[in-house]
Structure formats: C-alpha cells, structure tokens
Amino acid sequence: MNLGNKIRELRRARNLTQEQLAATLNISAQAVSKWEMGASYPDMTMIPTLAVFFKVSLDELFDFDVRNIDKEIEDIRLEYNKYFWNNFEKAEQILLDGLKLYPASIQLKTELFELYAYNVDRGDEVINKAFELGSHIISISQDVFCTCRTKANMIHIYRCLEIEKGEDHYEDIKKIIETLPYMYPYMIQDRMRLSASYIKGEEGMKEAKALKDIEWQEFFIACAQVGHRYFDMGDYENAMIHFRESVDVIERFMYPDKQGYDAYPIGGTHANHAMTILDIATCMFRLGRIEGIDELIERSKHIYFDTYNHIELRDYGKTMTEMLKYYKEQYDKKKLNEYKPLDLSAFEKRIIK
C-alpha cells in the first residue's frame, strides 16, 4: 500500500508543507512525516478526513487500482513460471516476495502450493509446507478454480507418497474427489470460449486456436484414461484400442511443418506421446503378441529423448539424468522389463559430466 507516497503527492500538489498539513488536521508535523516515510499509517478514523480534505475517493487515496494489482500479480506468476521446473529455490522466493506485497492473493498462494506439490521428493519439510498451505487455501478460497486446482494437487501429493513411501492414501484421494464439483467444460462460459465464438479477426482466431489446443489435449488424455481403466480391469484388448486412439489424436493435430518439441501444440505433450506408446507395447506383451513390441519401445524412446534436441535446456546434463530416471521408472512400472531389459545406453552418453 503506497498511502504515504500518495499523501506526499497530494500534499505537494496543493503546495502544502508537512507543518501546514499537520496544522490543518490538528496533528503533529512529525506524524505527517512518519506517514510519508512509511514508518506509520494514519489512524483509521483519519482516513475519511484525508479523503475529504484532498477531495479524492478512498480508492484514489490508497492508490488502489484492481487492474494494476491483477497485472502485477500476473507478472509475478509469469516470472515464477520461468523457474518452476528448474530452480525450486528461485521460484519459491519469487512467490514468497510476491506474497509480501499481496498477502491476500489466493492466486499466488495457489501457485506456491503447486510448487510444493511438485517437489515433495525434497523431503518432509516441503511436504509439511504443502499440506499446511493447501489446507489454508481450501479453507479460505472463494475461487472455484483455485480450490479445484489445489485439491487436484493435494491428490498429486498423496499419489507421490504412495509411490515414494509405499503409503496407502486411496481413501484420502477418494474423499477429496467427492468434494469437487461435477463440472463439464461447456458449462463454464469463459473468455477463451466466447472469444472463439464471437470475436472476429486475429483476436478471435487466436482464442479459437487456443481453444482447439486445449480441447485436443483434453481429448487425448481422456482416451488414455479410458485405456488405463480397462487396463486396471485386465481388459488389455480394449485398453490397447483406447491407447491407440490417444496416440492417433496426438499425431493427428501435431504441426506437420515443425520438428521435435515445437511440433506439439502444447509443450510437454511428447511425454504423454511416448508413455502412451509404451502402454500399447505393454498391452501387446500382456496379450502375448510379441511382434512389433521392439519397434514401439524404440519409437517411444526416440520421441521422449530426441524431442529435446529442438529446444534449449536449462542444464542439459541434469535434465537428461532426470529424464532417464523417469523413463526407467515408467518402463519398470509397466513391467516391460519382464519382456526385455531397458537399454538407454545411447542416451546415457549425453549426460554432461
């Protein structure tokens, strides 16, 4: 809040000294000086008097502009996003500094919670921070998007604890899901959807393309999820059909004139692409159809690792190490190691020592 600066600005605009303003308000010049230096604030009962004296609204007196605040919060979010995947400490500090300026911002709190949720492997300190902040957001948020996003990330934490520590959190996850609104996207008439429908020219085209990309992502994810549910039930034939549908959707809407990472409308989709191809290979193995599995595995590895040849990496060696670890974990999780051991030697050579 720039109240002190605003009082100084308004005082000078009326060619008043601190002593003259103090005399008018029947207070000490020292009090006015402290206001303007930010060392103290006027008593609440003095605020209306100041607004009347300077002939300004309370909003103007407090230099309150929602549009500016929203833009500043968005700028903080954009800066933080640069470091989300590659510098936890930097990303955390940007958000903590932002919350010092805007302590009530549910958006910044939600971003910070997501950062913690995706870094629970850093240990109990981060996990404890995450649960404390997540519970706080859920208890106070009146923003349905922030609430749903926070609950989704809470589920993510529980899944990580199941995988990393072998804990059983199925009931915790189920309870969270039961508290969520049962929504369909078309019930939410948002700016993107309405702009795509009604705004003409380049502005409307931009939103229409963005909507198409979002719906494309939702569709290939939905196809894969149906596949996973069939797989859980042991119906590998139907699971394979839906995994192939997911891959078909991804490949149908990739940019034909681009390569690697840039060929995907939404960054990071190459990972979904590669893993779903592994899912197809897994179904074939479970069904006893060995022919073609090797080709699928090699194709998956190529998509997952070689895609990054087309983008600049923050730290190529570290990133490749993380990618190798994740791919091995997924390969073993799908039990393809029962088919044949995973060979990533060609990619391990890329790690910078």
Predicted pLDDT at 186? 62
Please name the residue that has the structure tokens 């070689």. Answer: 306
Q: Which pair of structure tokens corresponds to residue 91?
A: 């990303």
Q: Among 228, 266, 219, which Cα is nearest to 247's?
A: 219
Q: Which pair of structure tokens corresponds to residue 168?
A: 């059983």
Query: What is the rounded CA–CA span in Å between residue 57 and residue 3?
Result: 13
Predicted pLDDT at 344? 92
CB-count exposure of residue 182 (10 Å: 0-12, 13-18, 19+): exposed
Query: What is the rounded CA–CA span in Å between residue 40 and residue 46?
Result: 13
Query: What is the rounded CA–CA span in Å between residue 4 and residue 64?
Result: 13
For residue 288, give the DSSP letter. Answer: T
All domains in the chain, ordered by first residue = 3-61 (1.10.260.40), 66-183 (1.25.40), 212-348 (1.25.40)
Q: Which helix (H) or strand (E) holds 19?
A: helix 18-25
Query: What is the rounded CA–CA span in Å between residue 60 and residue 106?
Result: 24
The answer to whether the CB of 35 falls within 8 A of the CB of 7 is yes
Q: Which helix (H) or strand (E) holds 100?
A: helix 88-101
Q: Among 274, 184, 177, which Cα is nearest to 220's?
A: 274
Q: Helix, strand, coil shares of the chain as percentages rounded to 5?
A: 75, 0, 25
Q: Among 203, 199, 212, which Cα is nearest to 253's?
A: 212
The answer to whether the CB of 73 falls within 8 A of the CB of 58 is no
Query: What is the rounded CA–CA span in Å between residue 125 and residue 144?
Result: 28
Q: What is the pLDDT along the chain (353 residues), one digit of tens a residue?
A: 578 888 888 899 889 999 999 988 889 999 999 888 888 888 888 888 888 888 888 777 776 655 677 888 999 999 999 999 889 999 999 999 999 888 888 999 999 999 999 999 999 999 999 999 999 999 988 888 889 999 999 999 999 999 888 999 999 999 999 998 887 666 667 888 889 999 999 999 999 999 999 999 999 999 999 999 999 999 999 999 999 999 999 999 999 998 888 899 998 899 999 999 999 999 999 999 999 999 999 999 999 988 765 444 444 445 778 888 899 999 999 999 999 999 999 888 776 54
